[in-house]
Copies of this chain bind each other. A is one copy, B any other.
């Protein structure tokens, strides 16, 4: 019962995190409610377009979070109490995303409150990126990063996580002035991180 119950083993932490990612991503659909009136169901279903878009946007983001979480913990040798706590904060933000998604979709469905909703949504995404930076920065400072990665690799990951934070923070900021453009900036983040980018991986 000492200060590092998980010693050098991160397997359990990763499995538990994967569970939270899989559940969060699947709970997103619960925020989409069937139209109450079946009299004109087609219109009712079409009017839900903001829910579908928000669903897809957050789904692709959490999918990306899952993939990057694995990349990060492939290089973290051990989970001490600090890593455990920071990772729990990361999961706490990811598990909160279905709520932020629901707020975003609700505002665009009502045609009211879009500005606030986009900023709220963008902040939730940016805080997710912030917790990634927190885990990675902590692991580097406490020499928990595997030496096989090399300093250049560690810097490359840190740069990528910082770029994500800046990008998503910028999306929230733009949403303050131009809600729709803010959503587009956040959606572009998904595209950029999912699609293979020329030059990102020069050597196969």
Which residues of A line the B interface, CB within 8 A?
Answer: 1-6, 12, 15-16, 18-30, 32, 34, 38-42, 45, 55-56, 59-60, 63, 66-68, 70-71, 74, 81-82, 84-85, 88, 91-92, 95-96, 98-99, 102-103, 106-107, 110, 112-113, 116-117, 120, 153, 156-157, 160, 194-197, 200-201, 203
Contact = CB atoms under 8 A, between A and B. Distances in A.
A34 B107 CA distance: 10
Contacts of A110: 38
A70 B12 contact: yes
A109 B137 CA distance: 37
Contacts of A60: 88, 92
A28 B113 contact: no
B38 A113 contact: yes
B3 A201 contact: yes
A22 B25 contact: no
A27 B29 CA distance: 10
29 contacts: A1-B156, A1-B157, A3-B197, A5-B67, A19-B19, A19-B22, A19-B23, A20-B26, A22-B23, A23-B27, A25-B91, A26-B95, A28-B95, A34-B102, A34-B103, A38-B106, A38-B110, A38-B112, A38-B117, A39-B112, A39-B113, A41-B112, A42-B113, A56-B92, A59-B92, A60-B88, A63-B91, A81-B195, A82-B196
A41 B102 CA distance: 13
A74 B2 CA distance: 13
